[in-house]
Amino acid sequence: MSTTTTLRALTIDNINPHVKEAKYAVRGELAIKSEEYRSQLQKGDGKDLPFDAVISANIGNPQQLDQKPITFFRQVASLLENPLLLEHEDVLIDKLGYKSDVVARAKKLLKDVKSVGAYSQSQGAPGIRESVAKFIEKRDGYPADPKSVYLCAGASSGVNALMNVICASPKTGVLVPIPQYPLYTATLSLLNAKAVPYYLNEESAWSTDVGGIKTALKKAQDEGIDVRAVVIINPGNPTGACLEAEDITSVLKLAAEEKLVVLADEVYQMNVYKGKFSSFKKALRDLQKSDENKDGKFDNVELASMHSTSKGLIGECGHRGGYYEMVGFDEEVSLAIMLEDRANTVMKVVSQVYKFVSIMLCPPVIGQCIVEMMVNPPVEGDPSYELFNQEYERTHKGLQDRANALHKAFEEMEGVSCQPPQGAMYLFPTITLPEKAIKAAEKEGKKPDEFYCLRMLDATGVCVVAGSGFGQKEGTLHFRTTFLAPGVEWVSRITDFHKKFMDEFR
């Protein structure tokens, strides 16, 4: 115990141990150090640094890396923030290039929320949840119920709510893919529940193998863990992999057999570069309609699907918008339901998820409006469609091109191998480091991949995240990089660094 124990109520030794245990490398030491470099460069103090700009490839933050916002979204948002502008429709249209559908959308959304400065319902504004339900219906070809949709402050906040309800004791387990976006393990640490790892198959493009999930499940059950849910990230983070339709069905069948809640993290559903995204919701409804469901065994599969405004081709992460749809859950858990009380008054009883989210009042309202525009963008024939479509396609192409260029560069680097980009915003190459580098890392008290990434940052200003921050098979090393940064110059910074690093430690 340090001497501070005697001075203060809180010390590093007595705070919540679960907060201490939680790990979240995406915004960890490397990220902080990169911010420090950035601030030195801004102040003109960084003249001795071997680079003149920091590239934050550690986090999917498109607009930090010069991705332009979608004009339609931001024009509407400007009117939501200042509705007095609607009194000058002529100026908006004649002088400022706003189209009539921008004005109409702003009016619709203001009707839904009254003011973006007012709290909405804790579950999100009803009119916006209706738009989300329509989007899901159109995407999947099956009805969706606005009452089952919860708006949230980015998918992270949805995961937090769901995990809080699911995790009942230190014996509660949740199956998480490895590698995974560390939100899941961090949240489980905070809730003092168990992350039950199942491994993705790097050799087959990071595919999800339901056999592997089963093995992990049985092992955990044998250890007395009450496994209640399985997390699937599709498209994958950090892997970028897209699940095959049959793998989705297999996961749902396993969920039915083993009574597992399925948490489908589908925030990258628009970031698909090969093939077509297929949702868990659609697969579940297909399965429920199929002959295999004669006995109704798939009727009660509990599925929560997340989506977000942060990623896709809009990249509005600073707005903290998102939603999750909950289907198949017990009404007392997920829905506010109608009940008659003893006086025969019809009463709504608040569900547990609703109560949980109500404690934080409501998601940011302007973020809710961005969700609405994401799920209900301009369509062909709308005045704003042409520009919207141009911007959307340009971003998609830019991501795809950069992903391919980066992948090519990785494939040419000594000891590096990388699965081809399929989806999301990331590549997750595997690296083989010389024994001398591993020893040097050990000497500095660092994991080899952390050591490598730190050296990369120091040499190039490019900030990536070590594979150990996501989990990786024993004995393998990786790093995750986004392919959001414009240009290719930074890619050659990485290849040059890698060559020198290998030469130094060979």
Q: Which of residues 129-158 bind its own copies (CB under 8 A)?
A: 153-154, 156-157
360 lies in the site for its own copies, by CB under 8 A = yes
160 lies in the site for its own copies, by CB under 8 A = yes
Stretch 413-452 residues interacting with its own copies (CB under 8 A): 443-445
C-alpha distances out from residue 70 to 135, 313, 387, Å: 19, 9, 9
- The binding track of 55-94 with respect to its own copies, each residue x by CB under 8 A or -, is ----x-xxxx----x-x--xx-xxxxxxxxx--x--x---
Among residues 74 and 134, whose Cβ is nearest to its own copies?
Answer: 74
**DSSP line for 172-231:** EEEEEEES--THHHHHHHHTT-EEEEEE-BGGGTTB--HHHHHHHHHHHHHTT-EEEEEE
104 lies in the site for its own copies, by CB under 8 A = no
293 lies in the site for its own copies, by CB under 8 A = no
Sheet strands side by side (includes 194-199): 149-152, 322-327, 303-308, 261-265, 226-233, 172-178, 194-199
> Which position among 109, 261, 335, 437 is part of the footprint of its own copies (CB under 8 A)?
261
Among residues 249 and 351, whose Cβ is nearest to its own copies?
Answer: 351
Stretch 171-200 residues interacting with its own copies (CB under 8 A): 183, 186-187, 190-191
> Is residue 422 helix, strand or coil?
coil
341 lies in the site for its own copies, by CB under 8 A = yes
Per DSSP, which regions of 65-186 are E strands? Answer: 149-152, 172-178
Of 280-288, 356-364, 381-389, 405-413, the window that binds its own copies (rule: CB under 8 A) is: 356-364
Among residues 72 and 428, whose Cβ is nearest to its own copies?
Answer: 72
107 lies in the site for its own copies, by CB under 8 A = no
Contacts of 260 (CB under 8 A, 6+ apart): 175, 217, 227, 228, 229, 230, 254
47 lies in the site for its own copies, by CB under 8 A = no
Tokens of 2: 């340090």
Query: In angstroms, what is the minimal distance from the CB of 467 to its own copies?
Result: 19
12 lies in the site for its own copies, by CB under 8 A = yes
- The binding track of 445-464 with respect to its own copies, each residue x by CB under 8 A or -, is x--------x---x------
C-alpha distances out from residue 19 to 22, 50, 189, 192, 335, Å: 5, 36, 7, 9, 30
Give the residue carrying structure tokens 């998918």: 155
330 lies in the site for its own copies, by CB under 8 A = yes
315 lies in the site for its own copies, by CB under 8 A = yes
- Total number of residues shown for the chain: 506
Per DSSP, which regions of 286-420 are E strands? Answer: 303-308, 322-327, 337-340, 346-349, 416-417
Among residues 411 and 504, whose Cβ is nearest to its own copies?
Answer: 504
C-alpha distances out from residue 505 to 282, 459, 499, 501, Å: 51, 15, 10, 6
Stretch 463-502 residues interacting with its own copies (CB under 8 A): none
# chain residues binding its own copies, by CB under 8 A? 118
Query: In angstroms, what is the minimal distance from the CB of 205 to its own copies?
Result: 28
302 lies in the site for its own copies, by CB under 8 A = yes
365 lies in the site for its own copies, by CB under 8 A = yes
The answer to whether 191 and 167 have CB atoms below 8 angstroms apart is: yes
